[in-house]
Amino acid sequence: MPSDRKPGGELLTGVEVQKHNSRDSCWVIVHGKAYDVTDFLPEHPGGQSIILKYAGKDATEEFEPIHPPDTLDKYLDPSKHLGPVAMDTVMRGDKIVDPEEGERQLRVQRMPTLDQCYNLLDFEAVARRVMKKTAWAYYSSGADDEMTLRENHSAFHKIWFRPRILVDVENVDISTTMLGSPVSVPFYVTATALGKLGHAEGEICLTRAAHTHNVIQMIPTLASCSFDEIVDARGPDQIQWLQLYVNKDRDITKRIIQHAQRRGCKALFITVDAPQLGRREKDMRSKFSDPGSAVQAVNSRSAFPLDRSQGAARAISSFIDPSLSWKDIPWFQSVTNMPIVLKGVQRVDDVLRAVQMNIPAVVLSNHGGRQLDFAPSSVELLAEVMPELRRRGWQDRIEVYIDGGVRRATDILKALCLGAKGVGIGRPFLYAMSAYGVPGVERAMQLLKDEK
């Protein structure tokens, strides 16, 4: 235990914290409390340099968008929790004047009013102008040359309707059920990470908007808000699912799953297309454009080389188990009563195998074009999967969902016509949230309803 840790209820001072500003003794302040992260430096998924940038300082502003608030309590030994800090004694460092940030604030002031957004693409255009560069890069990036990212959307343009005439459409009902839960629309909010990069309230914005419209929300493993914060924000009878990146430590994985079940999540979506997160070059470039990111970076005498190969995606995902395989499915089935869904299926034969293993649903998905470039678009794969399921008489043994590239209600309708049970939407709701908060997401959902 550090010698100058305060006993009892005494507050640490900023001067005391500031003494510990090196790799040999590194303290940081987060939300008014000091933590000794010296031993954690080599283990930090995002590298040491970003922590060392805030050694002896208040790191809250950098910490908050990327980490749930309970991260330090969960993963840092209690002996490293040094206690509260008298924040009026903490020196506020001069912020680097960023001309780009000044220009961005001007664009925020000039952005269109919410009622001037008429479709999901409008939200994307506004978000691109008003979001911080690093946030936009993380949300919008795809793998490698981003061919699959673009194909996800353009594939819908290759599918044409054959409209019937003289059909009574006076009353149109778009409500449905997903995994046994009744919902008002055949789309859901799919899991997307780091909500606070776009808005200070993060994923809770999506929770509130989803409740307003009776839309299911899939809670992401890599949320900025804690799992419990998101669950606590849901309304009465609101349906939430859990998306899971499987941890190498199965005890941790089991605790996460069973906690989600106790808190009322209605399904477990296991991400199966990301043994490690993809090479998203736009994100990787942006992550290290921060002029302060190399402060206290290595010199010629250091044994810790600065890793500039990571973006936000890889920096937060090193815990994911690359050994996950079909043989693990019975274990998941043994630890929960929630329906288990495989998210990220990209082959017909894998869908058939899922049926044989009594998996109740799959999501045809290529991770929004963020994993393997040149993976097939989800809607094109759907057109291959459903005929084979029907040929075998298995179409009622599994629910098939898709995500990726959906921007219009006609895209959703095309997926339903091809046999999908429902459609996940991710980036468009993030863009609406980033620009306009909860009202933006609510309007985005309403626009899709209006387009039906």
Catalytic residues: 245, 273, 367
202: its two tokens = 């993060």
446: its two tokens = 């309403």
Alpha helices (H) in 237-395, listed in sequence order:
250-262, 281-287, 312-315, 329-335, 348-356, 378-392
The Cα–Cα gap between 155 and 144 comes to: 19
Q: Which of 368, 324, 320, 363 is nearest to 345 (CA)?
A: 363
Please check whether residue 15 is in contact with residue 89, taking contact to mean a CB–CB distance below 8 angstroms.
yes
445 burial (CB, 10 Å; 0-12 / 13-18 / 19+) is buried
- Phi first, then psi, for residue 423 (nearest 5°) are -130, 135
12 DSSP 8-state letter: B
| Edge-to-edge strands, sheet with 33-36 | 27-30, 33-36, 81-84
Which residue's structure tokens are 């609406």? 432
The Cα–Cα gap between 93 and 401 comes to: 49
The Cα–Cα gap between 132 and 6 comes to: 39
Q: How wide is the angle at C-alpha 355 spanned by C-alphas 351 and 356, nearest 5°?
A: 115
Query: Which whole-number Å values give the CA distances from 44 to 3, 84, 297, in the listed order?
Result: 25, 23, 15
Tell me which H or E stretch contains 359: none
The Cα–Cα gap between 122 and 141 comes to: 18
